[in-house]
Structure 1
Amino acid sequence: MSTRTTPSTDLAATRRRLWEALRARDEAAATAAVLDAHDEGVPAEALLLDVIGSVQARLGGEWAAGRVGVAQEHAATAIQDRVVAALALRSPAPPAGTGDHREPGGPPRRVTVACVDGEWHALPARLLAEVLRGRGFLVDYLGAHVPTPHLVAHLHQTGTDVVALSSSLPVRLPTAHAAVTAVQAVGLPVLVGGAAFGPDGRYARLLGADGWAPDARAAADLLAVGPWRPGEPRTDSTGGLPHLSDQEYTLVTRARPRLVGQVLRGLEDTLPAMASYDERQRERTAEDIAHIVDFLAASLYADDAELFTGFVTWTAGVLRARGVPGDALVAALDLLAHAQRDFPRARAHLAEGRRALVRVPRPPAPGPRS
């Protein structure tokens, strides 16, 4: 990998060029933006993380602000994935005859990179896989949505030294927990990463992962340090999370369809504006309620109300960008709290979410027009 120091102006210009190509859905221009920079000496790792990864984060922000639609975001992400493939073709493979296994007591040589079951945001994992290849690791990249039994079967058939699991949404924490435990049970350590595990990795520690990294560079640096040994999988009935014994997570998860319907009907009675909603608006409202229930369940699983409050304040911004009044979200939390009157932890998390919404500043009222 080149050791050239890349001026930030070079990267900024390449990011702008890539962004404009994605906006135009021009795959050829997007590929040229990245490969031209590589030809000029920008290291592949910088292009992967500081250009492609950075532009992908911007794309997500534009979607949240309502300036990019779902289909447009998917199209741009697909182009990004092919740009990564084009860049990867220029990266040298490990030398022929390189051993698959690490030296005794040394850092891992072969890494399996995968997204947890149900996780479809695969680009972060793909970027990690390419960074690791660029640094000389042997990588099995399994892609998005890898069911845990299939992951374990793969590990039995290969000489993997360590597993790197990616997840972007905290609602996947229970699935990630199952995957971490299953991998450790076959004697392999697990490194996790992605927004699902919290900005400080708090949920990685909660689930018993052997390591956590905030980004692909940090993950590669961490994997380069040996030795790696698996932790002991937690085998008690709650998987090392004693708060799960109250069954609130399980009961809320099972009641999800009923809760969504109950809150939707309550909103129709509470908010007169919903009487004019068309079918698409009603479907979107039901989807929003389902996400609230999912994140409530995830916060119960982790026993962390901050997980839920972070989601509802983010959702408030998204809804504001859509023109949905903030009172609708508060009303939804109140209706959900009423439905959870027998679940003290759930009610406490919902109360925290409501207080957080009250603290979110409202946008300034428009001034008089001149």
Structure 2
Amino acid sequence: MSTGPPRSDNVAVLDDFEYALLSGNTSAAVGVVDSALDDGHAPLSVLCEVITPAQRAIGQRWQDGQWSVAQEHIATGISLAATEAVARRVREVPATKGRVVVGCAEREWHALAAMVVGTSLRTRGWQVTFLGAATPAERLYSYLQQMAPDAVAVSTSVAGGLPSTRRAIEAATTAGIPVLAGGAAFGPDALRARALGATAWAPTLPEGLDLVEELPATVEPVEPLPVAVVSEQRGLDADHHRLVELVARHWKPAGLAPADDIVADTDLTLVARDCIEQPLRCLQGALLTGDGRLVSEVADWTAAVLRARSVPPSAVVDLRGELVAALGEYPLARRLVEDRWPGTAPA
């Protein structure tokens, strides 16, 4: 779920928090949050107006080539510590409502957004069980059988997590439990969440907090997805490593380290790998949701990260060609690339 209103007087707090992130100083970042809470800033406003926008800026710095992956991970760890500082305070709020299980589906490792959601629900009096990142659907189903919560909230930040989100939704609704879905992977509207069978979709965190109150007590299991679509998605998933290696053998953007370079872990090398991995994962999400915009979005993302690292625009078109060639056994996915990935170099 993204964050929207409320706005308050957190501008100075955000500046101080971002400075702590830039410095890699966990103690300072937690101190900024603790001081803001001591000064009367609402926990929800600190989550929505300080921690979340700062985290969004972290991702943008990596995309723009200003930060390495290591810097991004360090800053994210600091944001997790700051969110835990807020969580410690809101645990003092009396639990007056039912229980919500909050987590990320399998292969979704971005736990911060889900932690923010769980902490925010606690401010509203909900009992919250936070499962963290990458929870397999089978384990989720077991938890739900044991705890019988009122709702499940699933956070999905990257499109590659959409297939496992579908499995989480299947697990929850099979147990009769409604699912609130949110996160950047769902895009600007409810189409993807609806296609995957979520009971409700939250475009922003404050809206999500309201929607939880409106969820039905029980739901029916989700309808099965089309057999051809599911079959091809599962094939892509099982064949993912081979497809990545196949594309990597032929797609060589300028500046990439040689394959025999034992220290070929430069930023560009890692980014190039991501630029193969992410489209192939996105295709699985696009198949299950029927939303071809996912392919256009990942093409734009690929162009942006390569441009920030001075890779010629033609590399994006070349990657399209290699993806089309590699997907010969997957006609639905191949057609999505042909139809949705630009065939000319971005301006």
TM-score between the two structures when normalised by the length of structure 1: 0.83
Identity %: 34
Tell me what 1:42 maps to.
41
Residue in structure 1 matched with residue 245 of structure 2 by the alignment:
261
Match of 1:118, SS state, is coil
1:35–1:331 Cα change, 3 Å: same
Q: d(CA) in 1 for partners of 2:287 and 2:21?
A: 38
Residues 1:329 and 1:161: Cα distance change in structure 2 (over 3 Å): same
Amino acid at match of 1:250: R
Q: Which residue of 2 aligns with 1:366?
A: none
SS of the residue corresponding to residue 165 of structure 1 reads strand
Letter in 1 for 2:236: V
CA, structure 1 residues 21+109, in 2 after alignment: closer, same or farther (shift >3 Å)?
Answer: same
Q: Does the CA-based 8 Å contact 1:190-1:230 persist in structure 2?
A: no
Is the CA contact (8 Å cut-off) linking 1:93 and 1:133 kept in structure 2? Answer: no
- SS of equivalent residue, structure 1 residue 322: coil
Q: Pick closer, same or farther for the CA change 1:85–1:227 going to 2, 3 Å.
A: same
**CA–CA distance in 2 between the matches of 1:201 and 1:127?**
21
Partners of 1:174 and 1:285 lie apart in 2 by 23
TM-fit CA distance, 1:165: 1.0
Name the aligned partner's letter for residue 191 of structure 1: L
1:347 equivalent in alignment to 2:331? no
- Asked if residue 316 in structure 1 is aligned to residue 315 in structure 2, the reply is no
What SS is found at the alignment partner of 2:12? helix
Equivalent residue letter for 2:314: D
CA contact (8 A) 2:7 2:49 kept: no
SS at match of 2:101: strand
Equivalent residue runs for 1:1-370 within 5 Å: 8=8, 10-91=9-90, 93-95=92-94, 109-225=98-214, 227-234=216-223, 239-241=224-226, 243-244=228-229, 247-268=231-252, 278=261, 279-280=264-265, 284-341=271-328, 343-355=330-342, 358=344, 360-361=346-347
**Deviation of residue 229 (structure 1)?**
2.8
Aligned pair count reads 338
Provide Cα deviations, 1:89-143, integer angstroms capped at 9, x if missing partner: 2235344xx67xxxxxxxx621111111111101111111111111111111111
Show CA shifts across 1:154-181 (max 9, x none). Answer: 1122241111111111112111111111
Cα 1:121/1:342, change in 2 over 3 Å: closer
Does the aligned pair in 1 maintain the 2:314–2:345 contact within 8 Å? no
Deviation at residue 34 of structure 1 after TM alignment: 1.8
Q: What is the Cα deviation at residue 294 of structure 1?
A: 1.9
Per-residue deviation at 1:343? 4.2
Structure with larger Rg: 1
Gaps of 5+ in 2: none
Aligned-partner SS, 1:358: coil
Contact kept? 2:65, 2:308, Cα under 8 Å: yes
| CA shift for structure 1 position 250 | 3.2
Alpha-carbon distance between aligned partners in 2 of 1:64 and 1:273, rounded to the nearest angstrom? 17
Higher relative contact order (CA 8 A, sep 6+): 2
C-alpha displacement at 1:150, in angstroms? 1.5
Counterparts of 1:257 and 1:119 in 2: how far apart (Å)? 18
| Deviation for aligned residue 1:285 | 2.9
State the one-letter code of the partner of 1:333: R
Distance 1:6 1:337 in 2: 45
Q: Closer, same or farther in 2 for the Cα pair 1:231/1:331, shift >3 Å? A: same
Kept in 2: contact 1:120–1:144 (CA 8 A)? yes
Distance in 2, matches of 1:322 and 1:282, equals 11
Distance 2:229 2:86 in 1: 45
CA distance 1:36–1:336, change in 2 (3 Å): same
* Superposition RMSD in Å: 2.5
Larger mean Cα displacement after TM superposition, 255-264 or 161-170: 255-264
Residues 6 and 243 (structure 1 numbering): CA distance in 2 closer, same or farther, change over 3 Å? closer
TM-score normalised according to structure 2 size: 0.88
8 Å contact 2:10–2:50 — kept in the other structure?
Answer: yes
- The separation in 2 between residues aligned to 1:345 and 1:186, in whole angstroms, is 32
User: In structure 2, how many angstroms separate the alpha carbons of the residues matched to 1:190 and 1:241?
Assistant: 21
Letter in 2 for 1:291: Q
User: Separation in 2 of the partners of 1:180 and 1:66?
Assistant: 35
